Amino acid sequence: MPDREPQQAEFGARQVPLADKQALVDDVFRSVARRYDLMNDLMSLGLHRAWKDALVTAVNPPKGRPFSLIDIAGGTGDIAMRVVGAGGAGTRANVCDINTDMLAGGRERAAARGLGKAMTFTEANAEALPFKDRSFDAATVAFGIRNVPRIETALAEAYRVLKHGGRFVCLEFSAVTIPGLDALYDLYSFNVIPALGRAVVGDADAYRYLVESIRRFPKPEVFAGMMRAAGFARVSHRLMSGGIVALHSGWRL
């Protein structure tokens, strides 16, 4: 019998063997790690701060009791720091990412802000989280799920590590819904963002991949179906900034 064709995955606009995607993504984020947060400000014109504020509001960490968060593909810990800051003294966050350079930057930022006791940084793959079942009150992922080779597996892992009654909140780029803005957004994305990447980070190709990966990510309704298949209940999403991003939510009930 002929050998079966290897499974394929999307890497930006390219098809690559599924087994190779993670290493390619790792190379992208290793390249951009040192200027990642600065580039977020430049690329989004500062809007990413409002989007992340909406995510933290959805998580709604309590003031008066212990609360544990896992921030998957959490990079430099920006989301986790915001949740810790919004919660009470019992709020703890574990930032998980597969990229050591991003985590190192996050540890430095957390220490500089005096958050070392409230935050843990764990090198881990979103598809195989090294935590027991039902360990966390909330799970978040911001602009990271689209870079995971097996999105369904990552969603199942997020569901597994959530406690009953826990909430999964995901912030991800979406499809612009305002006529006319979509063309301007494409022009900006495919021309300005790679040029910024070249000027600020010295790597236009990494940011060209990031733009292409946004266009390849499932539409909100499709992603909602993937969340339901992973077990999440009360699944919903909210479009923001004309559909540039979507805030997805689901519960383990």
**pLDDT at res. 164:** 97
User: Does the pLDDT value for residue 234 go beyond 90?
Assistant: yes
- The answer to the question of residue 3 being in a domain is no
For the whole model, what pTM was predicted? 0.83
Buried b (16+ CB within 10 A) or exposed e, 38-65: ebbebbbeeebeebbeebbebbebeeee
Q: Are 201 and 3 in contact (CB under 8 A)?
A: no
**pLDDT at res. 18:** 55
CATH of the domain at 151: 3.40.50.150
Q: Span 93-105, mean pLDDT?
A: 93
Give 92's pLDDT tier (boundaries 50, 70, 90): very high
What values do phi and psi take at 200, rounded to 5? -95, -40
User: Does the pLDDT value for residue 9 go beyond 70?
Assistant: no
Q: Span 106-127, mean pLDDT?
A: 95
Token reading at 12: 């930006």
Give 39's pLDDT tier (boundaries 50, 70, 90): low
3-class state of residue 229 by DSSP? helix
d(CA 109, CA 60): 23
Give 6's pLDDT tier (boundaries 50, 70, 90): very low
- The answer to the question of residue 184 being in a domain is yes
How many domains does the structure of the chain reveal?
1
- The answer to the question of residue 207 being in a domain is yes
- The answer to the question of residue 144 being in a domain is yes
Closest CA to 12 of 184, 193, 171, 239: 193
- The answer to the question of residue 2 being in a domain is no
Which percentage of the chain shows pLDDT scores above 90? Answer: 57
Give 198's pLDDT tier (boundaries 50, 70, 90): confident
Sequence-ordered alpha helix ranges (H) in 33-62: 36-44, 47-59
- The answer to the question of residue 22 being in a domain is yes
Q: Print the domain residue range for 121.
A: 8-251
User: Between these two residues, 102 and 223, which has the higher pLDDT value?
Assistant: 223
| DSSP designation for 202 | S
How many residues are present in the chain? 253
- The answer to the question of residue 237 being in a domain is yes
| DSSP designation for 2 | P
- The answer to the question of residue 63 being in a domain is yes
Q: Are 154 and 126 in contact (CB under 8 A)?
A: yes
